Amino acid sequence: MTVTKKRSLLVAALAAVGASLCCVGPLVLLSLGVSGAWIGNLIAFEPYRPFFIGVTLFFLWLAFRKLYLIPEQCGEDSVCGDPVIRRNQRTLFWVVTAAVGLLITFPWYAPALLG
């Protein structure tokens, strides 16, 4: 996977974590045994959630564009010419996209999941 594709997926995943920090963060910390009144302060990130979601979708779009829309200029003997590697890159992209989707939509399905 080229550096640009890796960066796009990494930044998209980090932005998704930022977007869900107000909701998933306290749950993860409590499940790890970390407690305290300061955990409630993570709700302060809620106003920034739309920004993080936008950044996430932008970088996922960049990764999708690199994987599916822009043809690679490489030789048959290079790494990018290997169809197995290309398939693995696309599989990793969809796994990250699914994980990001779960993180972004957590506030909507959390009440049903947590009771």
pLDDT tens track for 17-53: 666 665 666 666 666 666 665 556 666 767 877 887 8
User: Phi first, then psi: what are they for 20, rounded to 5°?
Assistant: -105, 5
pLDDT band per the 50, 70, 90 thresholds, residue 98: very high
What are the DSSP E strand ranges found in the chain? Answer: none
Q: Residue 1 is encoded by which pair of tokens?
A: 């996977």
Query: For the chain, what percent of residues have pLDDT higher than 70?
Result: 60
Query: What residue has token string 């407690």?
Result: 35
Q: Residue 94's pLDDT is what? A: 93
> pTM higher than 0.75 for the full model?
no
Q: Summarize the confidence of residues 49-61 as an average pLDDT.
A: 83
Range of the domain at 12: 3-114
Q: Residue 40's pLDDT is what? A: 60
H and E: helices and strands count for the chain = 5, 0
Nearest Cα to 52, choosing from 92, 24, 31, 83? 24
User: Phi first, then psi: what are they for 88, rounded to 5°?
Assistant: -65, -40
**In total, how many domains does the chain have?**
1
- Contact call for residues 99 and 12 (beta carbons, < 8 A): no
Output the CA angle 49-6-25, nearest 5 degrees.
30
Four-residue CA torsion sign, 92, 101, 17, 55? positive
